[in-house]
A and B are shown apart, each in its own frame.
Chain A
């Protein structure tokens, strides 16, 4: 069966450290993989998109890697800040259907 797995346990780190979140998937062949941020009671906000032929993508303090062999994406936030505390969702983009399928998200807590 198809699965998108993100660590359900909250990631608790000290301000200034690098946060690394993992997204694993099975039985999918996505054209793109996207990462979103969701704050409580709000809609998700787009952060980064990486294509299947890209290994790495950066945007300011954010970095995403995409390994289609391992079927895994890593999402890094460097120099983390308390304001980075939120739930981070990975999503697979099925180009053929234009649908976006989401993982369950990982909650990040950055302690001051």
Chain B
């Protein structure tokens, strides 16, 4: 099956610093990747759609200047949480569709747990 790798799996940072999370599709090309955020015992909330070679599309209420997304290649998308604050602490998960899979399911990374002190 298609594999999505996410790094780091967890990160602790001080308030005011920036944190970058990488999402890689290991064995397929992903023109589109999706970034989700999940608070404890809550659903996955779509933050943005990352498009290779173009600007990301952000969901309503998501600050694009705070959550910078870069999709520089067909296998890599990055999410940078800028000037992180404790309320940004959450579980961030990326996902991608594999073009050769007709069924259209999403393949998810293992998630990155961010804790901002």
A99, B43: Cβ atoms closer than 8 Å: no
Identify the A interface with B (CB < 8 A). Answer: 4, 32, 34, 41-46, 49, 89, 91, 93, 98-105
CA distance A44 to B43 in the complex (A): 11
CA distance A89 to B110 in the complex (A): 16
A32, B104: Cβ atoms closer than 8 Å: yes
Interface size class of B (residues with CB under 8 A): 20 to 34
Secondary structure at the B interface, as helix, strand, loop or mixed, is strand
Which residues from B are CB-within-8-Å of A100?
Answer: 34, 46, 95, 106
Nearest chain A CB to B91's CB is how many angstroms away? 8
Give the most central of B4, B44, B49, B95: most A CB within 10 Å.
Answer: B44
Does B71 count as interface, using CB distance less than 8 angstroms? no
B111, A104: Cβ atoms closer than 8 Å: no
Indicate whether A98 sits within 8 Å of B32 (C-beta atoms), given known contacts A41-B111, A44-B44, A104-B43. yes
Which residues from A are CB-within-8-Å of B111?
Answer: 41-43
Which residues from A are CB-within-8-Å of B91?
Answer: 41
CA distance A36 to B42 in the complex (A): 15
Which residues from A are CB-within-8-Å of B28?
Answer: none
B44, A93: Cβ atoms closer than 8 Å: no
Does B103 count as interface, using CB distance less than 8 angstroms? yes
Does B6 count as interface, using CB distance less than 8 angstroms? yes
Which residues from A are CB-within-8-Å of B97?
Answer: 98
CA distance A49 to B106 in the complex (A): 11
A43, B109: Cβ atoms closer than 8 Å: yes
